[in-house]
Amino acid sequence: MEYITARYRIPWTEHITERAQAIAIGMTVGSWTDLPDSRKPHLRRYLGEVGEIRRDGDVGLFDILYPLETVRDSISSLLTVIFGKLSLDGAIQLHGLTLPESFTRLFPGPPHGIKGMRLMLHAGQRPLVMSIFKSENGRTLAEFEDALYEQLLGGVDLVKDDEIFMADEDAPLLARIRAAHEACQLREAQTGQKGLYFPTLSGTPRQMLEHADKALEAGANGFLIAAYTTGLDVLVDLRRQGITVPIILHPAFVGGQINSGTHGVHPRILLGQLPRLAGADIVLYPSPYGSVAMPQEQSLEVANALREPSRLRSALPGPSAGIHAGILPQLFRDFGPDIVINAGGAIHGHPQGARHGARILADAASRFEEVREL
């Protein structure tokens, strides 16, 4: 029998074994002692098992082994079984997750991964550079075109919408995609550098699938999705529908799950393992440096979960928030070249304009080894 192994972190108690046994039963078959003996042989194949239990100071860690038969081929099913109602049960964190290959192969994973993104952009082994559109709501199409081209002329590889860009009546999705396609082609003809634009794809899951098809017909070459508001299975459905353009995952709404060491889900799982399983090629999440900083150890764990060897292609980490030229040596030393430099204020806030702000970051990325040693 194959199992999904979930590790939980709780305050230490002498009754931790009983707590673990109650979870193993309650999250799989609901009850055991109250079941008639005639039902037990049939349900035993679905019954969770308690694995390793250990103490680490005031903290207890224990594993529950969930039979693979208890979940379906969706991330929502997985999370419901291993942490659904359990997330309401006080101080408990989903701290670790081990998935058997028979489960991961049900998911497409990133269609491009780090190697594919580099090949697509002819980027060599340097970090990729991405600029963030700001103040987009109400922006006209002409203003969008001007701002986009300024960023491209600065040498960035990727340009993405702001995740809160919803009021796009003056610069509709399909019109932006067509304009961006022309701008990227023009930049490539002038400089030889390829570039990609990632519009925000939002709405209900059904609307997003419909909008994605129309956007692809208009020439879209990628999407930005805040999938924690709609569910990671939106990405899974897009991939299973045959949509293979790169997708950037935005971490909006995930803070309440990852910002506590005693509750919620460890960032390694929620921002690393699961987005990669769902099919994100790039995952944005807090860096250790900015105003919404994630502890360095956790931020590096997320990056490792996105890049470590697996049957799934790797995904590019985008440690974000507060990224500017002065922090790049530290960023490069901590994360290496397989990252996306994701910047907004450092580009748009440059006193000489976005083109100059972008050029500084692009130049630093091209000199990765030199900058890392500063």
Catalytic residue positions? 85
DSSP reduced 3-state for 156: coil
- Supply 366's token pair: 């091209």
CA separation for the pair 341, 56 (Å, rounded): 36
β partners of residue 16: none
Q: For the packed helices 233-240 and 205-217, what is the interaxial angle rounded to 10 degrees?
A: 40
Question: In whole angstroms, how large is the CA radius of gyration of the chain?
Answer: 22
- Supply 160's token pair: 């993405």
Q: Single out the residue of 303, 313, 311, 301 nearest to residue 246, CA to CA.
A: 313
Which residue carries 């207890």 as its tokens?
60
- Supply 64's token pair: 């529950």
Which residue carries 């799982």 as its tokens?
269
DSSP reduced 3-state for 196: strand
